[in-house]
Amino acid sequence: MTVSVRKTWRWIVALLPTLLTTGCWDSAGLDNIAYIHEVAVSYRKGVYTMYATILNVPVVTETSEKAMSEKAAPVYVVRARGNSWIEAVNNLFPTSPKRLMWSQFTTLILHESLLKTHYLDVVDPLLRYREIRPTVWVYGTRVPLAKLFQTKMPLESNPLYTYINNPNEVRVFGRVFPSVRIHTFLRELNEPGISPLLPELSMNTPKRVTWYKEHEKMSFMTVSSVGVFSNRRFVGWMPRNALMGLMWARTGGLRIPLYIRRPLIATVYLHYNKVKISSVQRHGRTFFTIRIRGKADLAEQSQEIQVQQLTEQIQTRMAGDVMKTFRAGVALHSDVLGLGQQAYRRYGFLWPFHTKTEALRSIRLHPDSLQAVSVTLIRAHSGMRFVMPP
Amino acid sequence: MSSPISKSLKASQDWLQEHVLSHCQDVKPFSFLLGDDADEHFVRVWGVYLDGSTDVERVTQTFMPLLQETFRRGPYNSLHEFRDHLRAPDASVATEWNGAVEALFGGQALLFLDGYEGVLTVDKTKKPERTPEDPPIETSIRGPRDGLVENIVDNVALIRKRLPTPDLCCEYFSIGRRSHTRIALLYMRDVARPSLVDAVRSRLSAIADLDELTESAHLEELLEDRALTLFPTFDSTQRADKSAAVLSEGRIVLVTDNLPTALIAPATLLQLLQSVDDYQDRFPFATMTRVLRWVGLLISLILPSIYVASTEYHQDTLPIFLLLSLVSAHRGVPFPTPIEAFVMLIIFELFREAGLRLPRAAGQTVGIIGTVVVGDAAVRAGLASTGMLVVMGITAVSTFTIPNFTLSNAVSILRFLFLIMATLFGDIGIVLCIVLLVAHWAGLRSFGVSYLSPYSPFEWSDWKDTFIRIKWTRMNIRPRSLRSADHVRRGAPKK
């Protein structure tokens, strides 16, 4: 053999095993996979219970070759238990006739029982597995999981179209707390001076709304409140009457209605506000002021009233809401408005590295830490003026 | 064979009889008497011509009377003197058999005058040829319809018609011991980079010991910088207007006799993705079509492999509804997706080849049967999934957006490589292939010009005629990557 032929053979011998024995072993046939879509976990007396929805692809018959995206994709709900969440998952795997994959996993629901105990034991392995992306939507709930997974949603022919699975696509107007992805949640969990907010899924909360399907009342899911954390510990749910301040000063929202009933009658819509937090340090404590600037759209106005008067009333109301939220947060020993973060970043240089605890103590909130809330609104859009004949 | 032609007509007849006439029956002899019988001042003339290539009618009707009249004004001492008195620019004298035979088979008539050394050759050729018409593979909507033909003289004339200037240089080379193929090297003297012209000239002169040259692809292989590559380092065209345009850009054009295809050098990848119509429409539209062609190149290269990689390895890259559609479409197909993709790709190439080989009308039928009937039947029979069929259909259509035929063939081969790598390694394999491909492109040179220019090496001023095409009135300078002798196309030269 000449040198070049020998060289070629060497290449072939080296390349063939590399090409044929690597990589392709984990390839999966398209229709031999089932996809885990949603997972909910609860905990009771050392036992983790997992509910998972698994997507099943409907059979497309020869007569209807149309793509089925709009049609119902039946999902299977599976319950699995184990002494850890991983164990529950591994108990599930052998029972599935198809290979289960996590690549389409979108929603994680953590039950209150788990939140109060070992929720980090679920989050941690979740992020270690390569098939799962840290873009999973994460929710908390107080509803028993079995009930949550038996609900049939209104308007949803396809369970993949629920609000909780694509909150970005199902645009929700009004007083809905924005959903969070797990990377945001974890980032805020590790950040000093801010309390991550976990949207709470609940069923049938708004008392004044009923959905019917053929004269039967339907149950529905809403995001009714948020869970509050402090130092990575779950400390409780925000009271519902203290939620509005979060929307004004922290998360914002799309077309949040604000109803004014006394003494004037009007409705305005508010959008994302500009929030500016400023702080001063005095005697080892930090005091904050919040300045909110935003635009308001007038939606309803019953009498001819002075714009100035109305604006002032709305501003006072919003400032009151923010203050109420702040106090509710302090009652839970948490910083729901993220005030401390501003001071932590701003005054970080004042504190040597080894005095981090000192710094954190200085930004700990007290009921009087928030000194003032000022709101400035501009009327962005008042609609066409329509004068009713007398 | 190279011996002088003797004075004796008999000797010439014998020589030709032995060397040519005995075995080339398409060479026809004829003879007549020149001068007047009455005053005994006459000479016996014997001639030969190539049947079908020599225009006998013109020889007898226009040349003979001239010959007769010149002869009457004689006498002459030599054939050269005779020639000097002949008022015909297309007549010349050959003294060696070698040149005479070459002229004969080039279509010229040979006239042996008894008593004179040498032979009179008359260039009244009329070879079988067609008139210039719209080239079928490079159609243009607004452009001219006179494409190149199989005659080098006509082709040079077609180009010269568009650049009637002495700066357009035309150098002839003859290549091939047997074929004597004439090759014309065309360039603009004051525009083309001198080193480029020298390189082409020296490479052409260096071609030796070649039996015959009949294809432009052979010429391409003889001249190219790098021997082992799938990609064409010459652009080719069948259009005279494109040839003229690239000449004025500073490139060179090689016209080969008997071929309607001219070679253009240097060629870059971006140039291969341009078409004539780009310059005949408004510039935003030209930009859009160019971007579309790049998209087409990319799709035809990687779409099947992306499909295989996404469905086999990276299901998370697909939106859930698309994934579910693909899964339900694939349900019941007995083959795994990679095998399905291979089979479909091979079938696609089969149909393409069949369509090319068959007569044009039948080829279209095969195309329709292939795409519509067989594809649909395959899905109904559960042999292929609809998703795969859509992918293959888009790939097939995208392949046809690539204007250069050689480039699209290269893409067809690479597509299989991409598919193999995607099957084995998923997206990583595709990325690896792209990296290697770009590295290969970056290593290619076409007469010293990088294949990826003006992106690598970076030349900002050339960008106006690459992905995008700006207004023609703004393209005031020639491509800098060609390092032309004269950069300025419009306006005063900038010092």
The answer to whether residue B493 scores a pLDDT higher than 60 is no
Is residue B33 over pLDDT 80? yes
Report residue B37's pLDDT band, with 50, 70 and 90 as the boundaries: low
According to the model, what pLDDT value does residue B243 have?
A: 93
Q: At what angle do helices B152-162 and B240-249 cross, to 10 degrees?
A: 60
Tell me the chain B residues in contact with residue A65 when contact means C-beta distances shorter than 8 Å: 329, 379, 386
Question: What backbone torsions phi and psi does residue B369 show, to the nearest 5 degrees?
Answer: -60, -45
Q: Given A30, A35, A69, which is nearest B311 (Cβ)?
A: A30
Determine, for residues A33 and B380 on separate chains, whether the beta-carbon distance falls below 8 Å.
no
The C-alpha of B302 sits at a distance from chain A's nearest C-alpha, in angstroms, of: 18
Which residue in B313, B328, B379 is closest to A58 by CB distance?
B328
Beta strands in B292-420 (DSSP E): none
The size of chain B, in residues, is 495
**What number of C-beta contacts closer than 8 Å exist between A and B?**
81
E-only strand ranges, chain A: 33-44, 47-55, 75-82, 99-101, 107-111, 137-141, 180-181, 197-203, 211-213, 216-218, 221-230, 233-237, 256-260, 266-270, 274-282, 285-301, 370-381
Residue B290 pLDDT level (bands cut at 50, 70, 90): very high
3-class DSSP state of B234:
coil
Terminal CA-to-CA distance of chain A, rounded, Å?
Answer: 109
| Residue numbers in A near B339 (CB within 8 A) | none
Judged by a CB distance cut-off of 8 A, whether residue A187 touches chain B is no
Cis amide leading into A206 (omega within 30):
no
CA B301 to chain A, closest CA, distance in angstroms equals 21
B125, B228 Cβ separation under 8 angstroms: no
pLDDT at A261: 82
The CATH homologous superfamily to which domain A251-390 belongs is Nutrient germinant receptor protein C, domain 3 (3.30.300.210)
B232 vs A348, more confident:
B232
**pLDDT at site B395:** 92
* pLDDT average, residue stretch B282-294: 92
Mutate to test the interface with A, among B305, B310, B315, B379 (most CBs of A within 10 A): B315
Residue B77, pLDDT > 60, answer yes
Instruction: State the Cα angle at A336 between A335 and A340, rounded to 5°.
Output: 40
- Which band of pLDDT confidence, cut at 50, 70 and 90, is reported for residue B76? confident
Q: Which of A256, A260, A254 is nearest to A245 (CA)?
A: A256
- Are A374 and A276 in contact, with CB atoms under 8 Å apart? no
Query: Please, which residues have CB within 8 angstroms of residue B126's CB and are 6 or more apart in sequence?
Result: B53, B54, B55, B58, B107
CB-CB under 8 Å, A29 with B336:
yes
Chain B CB contacts of A30 below 8 Å:
311-312, 326-327, 330, 337
β pairing state of A137-141 and B181-188:
unpaired
**Amino acid B227: pLDDT:** 73
Question: Is B202's pLDDT higher than 60?
Answer: yes
Cα–Cα distance measured from residue B375 to residue A286, given in angstroms and rounded to the nearest whole number: 73
Cα A60 to Cα A71, B311, B329: the distances in Å are 11, 18, 7
- Which residues of chain A does B321 touch, with a Cβ-Cβ cutoff of 8 Å? 69, 160
Chain B CB within 8 Å of residue A26 CB? yes
Nearest to A67 among B316, B325, B330 (CB): B325
Q: Within a 10 A sphere around the Cβ of B238, how many other Cβ atoms? A: 19
Angstrom distance (rounded) from CA B30 to CA B122: 14
Nearest C-alpha in A relative to B325: A67
What Cα–Cα distance (Å) separates residue B471 from each residue in B91, B281, B408, B464, B476?
51, 10, 28, 9, 10
Residue ranges, CATH 3.30.300.210, chain A: 251-390
Q: From the list B326, B423, B429, which residue is nearest A30 (CB)?
A: B326
Residue ranges of domains in chain B: 9-122, 152-267, 279-449
Q: What 3-state DSSP class applies to A2?
A: coil
Q: What is the pLDDT along chain A (390 residues), one digit of tens a residue?
A: 577 888 889 888 888 877 666 655 666 677 788 888 889 999 999 899 999 888 876 654 444 444 444 455 567 888 999 999 899 999 998 998 888 888 888 889 999 999 998 888 888 888 888 888 888 889 999 988 888 877 666 555 555 666 666 676 665 667 778 888 999 999 998 888 888 989 888 887 677 788 887 887 777 778 888 999 988 889 999 988 888 888 888 888 788 888 888 777 888 888 888 999 998 888 878 899 999 998 888 888 776 677 788 888 889 999 999 999 999 999 998 888 888 888 888 877 777 766 777 778 888 888 888 989 999 988 877 766 655 555
Report d(CA A227, CA A199) in Å as an integer: 6
At a CB cut-off of 8 Å and minimum separation 6, what does A320 contact? none
Confidence of residue B463 (pLDDT cuts 50, 70, 90): confident
What residue in B sits closest to A131 (Cα-Cα)?
B316
- Say which of B320, B338, B429 has its CB closest to residue A104: B320
End-to-end CA distance of chain B: 58
Q: Do B327 and A57 touch (CB under 8 A)?
A: yes
The whole-angstrom distance between A188's CA and the closest CA on chain B is 26
Q: What is the pLDDT of residue A43?
A: 92
Q: Is the Cβ–Cβ distance between A263 and A230 less than 8 Å?
A: no
pLDDT surpasses 90 at B416:
yes
- B45 pLDDT above the threshold of 60: yes
CA distance, residue B213 to nearest chain A CA (Å): 31
| Chain B interface mutation, best of A15, A16, A30, highest count of B Cβ atoms under 10 Å | A30
**B312 contact residues in A (CB cutoff 8 A):** 27-30
Q: What pLDDT was estimated at residue B1? A: 58
Q: Do A57 and B328 touch (CB under 8 A)?
A: yes
pLDDT tens digit string along B268-286? 999 899 888 888 888 999 9
Average pLDDT over residues B300-327: 88
Pick the most confident of B172-176, B300-304, B372-376.
B300-304
Q: Return the pLDDT at A30.
A: 74
- Quote the pTM value: 0.80
Beta bridge partners of A228: A197, A236
Sign of CA dihedral B450, B452, B456, B460: positive
The interface residues of chain A toward chain B in range 362-381, judged by CB-CB distance below 8 A, are: none
Among partner residues B321, B331, B424, which is closest to A23 by beta-carbon distance?
Answer: B424
Shortest distance between the Cα of B438 and any Cα of chain A, in A, equals 21
Q: What pLDDT, in 10s, does the model give residues B116-148?
A: 888 889 888 888 888 888 888 888 888 888 889
